[in-house]
Amino acid sequence: MLQPEIEENEPIQKYSTCRRVCALIVLWLYCCMSYCDRYSIAGVLSEVKEVFDLDHTNSAWLTTIFLISYMSFAPVIGYLGDRFDRKWLLIIGLVCQITTNLAGSTATTFSGLLLSRFFLGVSECVFNVIAVPFVSDLFGPKTRTYAIQALSTATPIGGGLGYVIGSEASSTFGGWHWALRVTTPVTGFIAVLMMFILPFQLKRGAMEPNMIVAKEEYLSDLKYFLKVKTYVYTVTGSACTNAMIGIATLWLPDLFSQVAVLGRELKPCAHPPCEFEEINLKFGVLTVVAGLLGGLLGIFLSRVGRKMGNKLIEPELCGYGNLISTISIATMLLFMMGHQKLSWVMAFLALTGSSINWGLSCEIVMSVIPPRKRSTGKAVFNIISHALGDAPSPLIVGAVADMIRKYRVGERDTYLAEFRSMQSAFVLFAPLFTVSSAILYFAAARSLIADQKALEQKKECQSTTLF
């Protein structure tokens, strides 16, 4: 089943537009359910904290352990993705996702729940490392941007659905563990669709035959990536964006719930299931709409910019999106206590600005890396952007919030102390992350043309060698 592919001297494959679009739709569904399963635990975080008696630091480990496994396995999956049939790798990853979700729903200890999150990180890593290069080989350079952007819209939609489904499942069936169970039938159906729709043995560089070059050693690939300035700037810029999104997706629903309790709109969560589903529903819908709007804005504005002759439109949009996010997140934190409606609007704008980056970042990276190195390049992209981004950021912010709370003598165990400590930690880190991301994306814009020309020259040299 999984045997190394030998692609040299084989004819380039061509698939009908219908087959390629259907494959993209199936991958979109896979991505959507992957992120839904990832964020469903955040929709019941208040209950999980009560059941397992967790503080902010321990709660953050639910995200951090997920990303540790994600980063640990990314190099291996990238290596396999550049050498084996990617369809089977994707199917194996989806089966792993179903299994670990069901196992996690039966956990009776916090360590058992953490172990299930660890293996869920492996399954999502399979998709994120392999899917974008797979799509790049299905669509040509002219349509690839829109295909990747369309795929990226599944990320916020799936994440938002995770909040909604997780919270509603817990409320309906009477326990947080149902948040991890309800999606498994849908995920299993997607696995069946993948068997019949995704093409087997899709050739790497199928849309760019002149760029199919011999395989190189893994270490030489890493050295190559470090020499591409645009790649380095985009990866680190994405890491900063991920850092902000990481703390926002984990802690913002909790913050809004605390504000509602302090305003006597909700009762404190003393015994699960907690009555916070309205907050989680709002945040889930907000995440879906903001992510979809950000993704569509990225597609539309990049297309308009290209028509106007702006070859730097992708990194510039990422930079401006982060500046919008910076202003919005700062305003939200400043007026959160007394102006909740304004805070919700600012949270929406912050997530919209950050969502512009997802598909555009992938397109920037794919445009400066040869086809044979794309799975490895995407794997390294994922490792660094998560290792420096949303892997440590929730843990750091949670630890700082707990530290601040210890010094609020007299109100250490109150909702006000919990809110103020997390608000202070947010103020310290969130604007810093988004401003840094904007600077790095603008730096990527300065080097993009030169790196693309260097890749084109390599393509011409390879074409001359072939003929």
408, pLDDT greater than 90: no
pLDDT per position as a tens digit, 34-50:
888 888 888 788 788 88
Please provide the average confidence, as pLDDT, over all residues in the chain.
82
Place of tokens 């390879």: 462
Whether the Cβ atoms of residue 272 and residue 171 lie closer than 8 Å to each other:
no
Residues found in the chain? 467
Whether the Cβ atoms of residue 186 and residue 162 lie closer than 8 Å to each other:
no
**Among 110-114, 285-289, 321-325, which stretch is predicted with the lowest mean pLDDT?**
285-289
Whole-number Å distance between alpha carbons of 322 and 349: 10
Q: What is the DSSP letter of 267?
A: -
Q: What is the DSSP letter of 360?
A: H
Whole-number Å distance between alpha carbons of 392 and 250: 12
Whether the Cβ atoms of residue 439 and residue 315 lie closer than 8 Å to each other:
no
**pLDDT at residue 327 in the model:** 94
Smallest CA-to-CA distance from 194 within 36, 22, 38, 1 is with: 22
Q: Which amino acid is at 342?
A: L
Residue 314's contacts (CB-CB under 8 Å, 6 or more residues apart) are: 145, 302, 360, 363, 364, 448
Whether the Cβ atoms of residue 389 and residue 246 lie closer than 8 Å to each other:
yes
Calculate the CA dihedral of residues 102, 108, 109, 110 and round it to 10 degrees: 50
Outline where 263-356 has alpha helix (H). 277-307, 313-335, 340-355
346, pLDDT greater than 90: yes
**Among 133-142, 335-344, 362-371, which stretch is predicted with the lowest mean pLDDT?**
133-142
The domains of the chain are located at: 17-204+216-466
Whole-number Å distance between alpha carbons of 300 and 297: 5
Q: Which amino acid is at 58?
A: N
Asked, as a colleague might, if the bond just before 273 is cis with ω within 30 of 0, I would say: yes
Whether the Cβ atoms of residue 423 and residue 280 lie closer than 8 Å to each other:
no
Residue 243 pLDDT class (50, 70, 90 cuts): very high
Distances (CA, A) of 88 to 8, 278, 320: 21, 40, 39
Whole-number Å distance between alpha carbons of 347 and 251: 12
**pLDDT at residue 241 in the model:** 93
**Among 273-287, 339-353, 393-407, 426-440, which stretch is predicted with the lowest mean pLDDT?**
273-287
Whether the Cβ atoms of residue 324 and residue 301 lie closer than 8 Å to each other:
no
Whether the Cβ atoms of residue 43 and residue 166 lie closer than 8 Å to each other:
yes
Residue 325 pLDDT class (50, 70, 90 cuts): very high
Place of tokens 């490895």: 376
**pLDDT at residue 213 in the model:** 46
Whether the Cβ atoms of residue 368 and residue 150 lie closer than 8 Å to each other:
no
371, pLDDT greater than 90: no
Whether the Cβ atoms of residue 150 and residue 131 lie closer than 8 Å to each other:
no
Question: What percent of the chain is modeled with pLDDT above 70?
Answer: 87
Place of tokens 């290792």: 387
**pLDDT at residue 64 in the model:** 82
Whole-number Å distance between alpha carbons of 11 and 241: 41
Per CATH, which fold does 17-204+216-466 belong to? Growth Hormone; Chain: A; (1.20.1250)
**What distance separates the 2 farthest-apart alpha carbons in the chain?**
79
* Number of Cα atoms under 13 Å in the Cβ half of residue 128: 28
229, pLDDT greater than 90: yes
